[in-house]
């Protein structure tokens, strides 16, 4: 294949912007652009064109095409084609000036499957303004063969510069890649180039690009996307420097990789110290279940699920919902999974008989359980309490019961709980699966929820509700310091920290106090150690 038939496109200034809100800084923007031009990269993407944003010389997201000239207009393009990107629906055609008056040579338009008809019509309007148009089908794995054929029919009628397969969530393995690619090539007009944009969820972005570069279509131009140091959305992109190395080494090209490496050393390494991108467990988990990464974010952010549980929930997602994130849907799936109805009448009866009339001290994992140890010991000496710890095992305290409602914490504590079973009885909610044997008491998770609460499965409220049923005499609280923003360490074990903003933490604290009051306990709990809840 001749050199002109394969083109490398660098999308650092656009895709990389998902990580820093496109704020690279003016000097970095210019340096990246000029180095890419000097390296001889065929196509350089300057950023997004988005009417919702104002012009900022430090950012690569622009309200209109004219603004791009304000940043790049005085720079030399060299032999590179310069393009911008529009996410269909975020930029009206009025914000796109005629190509003859614009710094850009082309515009890439990304769109989702359900908007293909309107998006192709928009592409036609962009083409009529004189631009080279790239039709970019995002989340290509959401298309079946018939839907892809329908789209290609629209693309053939449009006649763009190129049509690209965008593996938005990095799901494609070699066999699937070849299927989509060969299927598209067999129907796409030969005068239309074909492109590929990879993501690295499975560490396959570079390998997939090499697969296409080494075995490209014989009758059309191939465009392969990369970014400096792989910087990009979610798990990141194919590193441009690797594509350049491969093309120079195996396809006789003469890109100046030293210029690419200089750009990485001067700008990208410093950025990578401040923000993380690339292959990660979270993005692997999302890709392995063919789903949107935000579903994984939600489930992991609950802080209450084991990986096994998360995988089971992801595996139960409806096909049509997997790649279109729906916050209400995943919340419903989470509680549906947790609500494993369980006949716990016997457990309630036995616990009631054991705890009825008792003075109880609940022990939480807040730092004050140790910082104010003297208060705790004095309370225990005075009351001779039954002690119950919640989702942790306190050191240097004897506990009669351990209450577990958090599957993730259970996995973390599994070995310690097995050692503890001679000293303490284990009460668990029905959303937790024991590794060996049976729990001493298993209670219905759903029966303990407060569906109206901000945190329906707040473990303190769940256990207080249980104690109300058991008819205990008094309740003391130690180590329930209250929730704080993520930057403030609040737990005896850093691995137990939740991720909350200051406002989120305040809202949960207020909601917790409301939940306690709503239980209508015979006597208000006594705060043995200091707590934010006392002040609300």
Does residue 207 register a pLDDT over 80?
A: yes
The domain spans of the chain are: 3-274, 289-338, 345-535
- Buried b vs exposed e over 189-211: b needs ≥16 C-beta within 10 Å? eeebbbbbbbbbbbebbbebbbb
Closest CA to 431 of 454, 467, 456: 456
CB 172 within 8 A of CB 142: no
Residue whose pair of structure tokens reads 């006789």 in the numeric block: 252
Task: In whole angstroms, give the CA distance from residue 200 to residue 87.
Answer: 21
Check if CATH label 3.20.20.70 holds for domain 3-274.
yes
> Model's pTM, two decimal places?
0.70
Q: What is the pLDDT of residues 105-127, one digit of tens each?
A: 999 999 999 999 999 999 999 99
Among 54-68, 77-91, 309-323, 346-360, the least confident range: 346-360
Angle between helices 307-315 and 327-338 (to 10 degrees): 120
DSSP 525: P
Alpha helix ranges (H) inside 83-144: 116-128
Name the token pair of 160: 């763009």
Task: In whole angstroms, give the CA distance from residue 323 to residue 19.
Answer: 20
Q: What is the pLDDT of residues 472-489, one digit of tens each?
A: 999 999 999 998 875 555
How does DSSP assign 209-220, residue by residue?
Answer: HHHHHHS--SSS
Does residue 236 register a pLDDT over 70?
A: yes
Percent of the chain residues topping a pLDDT of 70:
95
Instruction: Report the Cα 381 to chain-centroid distance in Å.
Output: 48
**What integer pLDDT is reported at residue 2 of this predicted model?**
44
CA–CA–CA angle 46, 297, 403 (5° rounding): 165
- The pairing of strands 425-429 and 401-404 is parallel
Alpha helix ranges (H) inside 255-359: 257-263, 269-274, 281-288, 293-301, 307-315, 327-338, 345-355
Distance of CA 361 to CAs 351, 364, 397, 462, 508, Å? 15, 10, 12, 15, 22
Name the token pair of 235: 């798990």
- Give the pLDDT mean for 74-95: 98
**What integer pLDDT is reported at residue 490 of this predicted model?**
59
- Give the pLDDT mean for 398-411: 90
CB 140 within 8 A of CB 167: yes
Q: Would you tell me how many other CB atoms lie within 10 Å of the CB of residue 398?
A: 9
Q: What is the pLDDT of residues 427-439, one digit of tens each?
A: 988 888 777 677 8
- Mean pLDDT, the chain, whole residue set: 91
* Kind plus residue range of the DSSP H or E element containing 374: helix 373-383
DSSP 522: S
pLDDT band at 498 (very low <50, low <70, confident <90, very high): low
Helix, strand or coil for residue 355? helix
Q: What is the pLDDT of residues 366-388, one digit of tens each?
A: 999 999 999 999 999 998 899 99
Name the token pair of 1: 């294949």
Name the token pair of 111: 């769109």
How does DSSP assign 466-520, residue by residue?
Answer: HHHHHT-SEEEEES------TTS--BSSGGG-----HHHHHHHHHHHHHHHHHTT
**What integer pLDDT is reported at residue 493 of this predicted model?**
56
Residue whose pair of structure tokens reads 């993407």 in the numeric block: 45
Alpha helix ranges (H) inside 256-306: 257-263, 269-274, 281-288, 293-301
DSSP 74: T
Task: In whole angstroms, give the CA distance from residue 428 to residue 286.
Answer: 29
């Amino acid at each position: 294949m001749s050199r002109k038939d394969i083109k490398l496109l660098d999308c650092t200034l656009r895709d990389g912007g998902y990580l820093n809100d496109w704020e690279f800084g003016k000097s970095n923007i210019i340096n990246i652009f000029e180095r890419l031009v000097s390296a001889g990269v065929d196509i350089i993407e300057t950023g997004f064109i988005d009417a919702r944003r104002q012009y900022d010389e430090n950012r690569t997201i622009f309200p209109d095409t004219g603004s791009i000239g304000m940043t790049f207009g005085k720079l030399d393009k060299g032999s590179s084609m310069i393009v911008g990107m529009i996410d269909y629906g975020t930029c009206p055609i009025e914000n796109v000036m005629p190509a003859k008056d614009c710094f850009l040579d082309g515009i890439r338009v990304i769109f989702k499957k359900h908007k293909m008809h309107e998006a192709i019509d928009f592409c036609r309007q962009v083409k009529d303004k004189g631009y080279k148009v790239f039709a970019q089908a995002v989340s290509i794995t959401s298309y079946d063969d018939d839907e892809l054929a329908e789209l290609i029919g629209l693309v053939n009628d449009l006649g763009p510069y190129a049509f690209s397969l965008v593996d938005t969530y990095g799901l494609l393995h070699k066999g699937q890649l070849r299927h989509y690619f060969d299927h598209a090539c067999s129907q796409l007009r030969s005068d239309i180039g074909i492109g590929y944009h990879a993501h690295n969820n499975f560490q396959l972005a570079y390998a997939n690009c090499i697969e296409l570069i080494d075995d490209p279509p014989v009758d059309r131009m191939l465009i392969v996307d990369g970014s400096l140091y792989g910087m990009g959305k979610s798990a990141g992109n194919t590193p441009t420097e690797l594509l350049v190395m491969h093309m120079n080494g195996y396809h006789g090209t003469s890109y100046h990789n030293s210029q690419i490496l200089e750009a990485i050393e001067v700008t990208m390494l410093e950025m990578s110290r401040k923000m993380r991108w690339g292959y990660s467990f979270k993005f692997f988990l999302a890709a392995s279940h063919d789903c949107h990464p935000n579903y994984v974010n939600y489930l992991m952010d609950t802080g209450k699920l084991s990986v096994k549980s998360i995988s089971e929930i992801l595996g139960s997602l409806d096909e049509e919902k997997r790649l279109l994130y729906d916050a209400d849907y995943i919340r419903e799936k989470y509680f549906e999974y947790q609500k494993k109805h369980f006949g716990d009448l016997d457990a309630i009866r036995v616990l009631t008989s054991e705890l009825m009339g008792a003075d109880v001290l609940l022990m939480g994992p807040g730092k004050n359980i140790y910082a104010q140890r003297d208060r705790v010991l004095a309370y225990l000496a005075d009351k001779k309490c039954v002690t119950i710890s919640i989702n942790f095992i306190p050191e240097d305290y004897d506990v009669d019961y351990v209450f577990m409602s958090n599957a993730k914490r259970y996995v973390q504590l599994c070995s310690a709980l097995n050692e503890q079973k001679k000293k303490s009885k284990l009460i668990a909610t029905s959303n937790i699966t024991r590794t060996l044997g049976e729990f001493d008491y298993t209670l219905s998770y759903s029966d303990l929820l407060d569906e109206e609460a901000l945190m329906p499965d707040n473990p303190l409220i769940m256990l207080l509700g249980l104690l109300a049923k058991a008819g205990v005499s008094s309740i003391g609280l130690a180590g329930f310091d209250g929730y704080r923003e993520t930057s403030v360490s609040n737990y005896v074990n850093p691995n137990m920290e939740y991720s909350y903003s200051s406002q989120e933490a305040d809202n949960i604290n207020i909601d917790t106090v409301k939940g306690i009051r709503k239980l209508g306990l015979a006597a208000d709990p006594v705060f043995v150690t200091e707590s934010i809840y006392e002040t609300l």
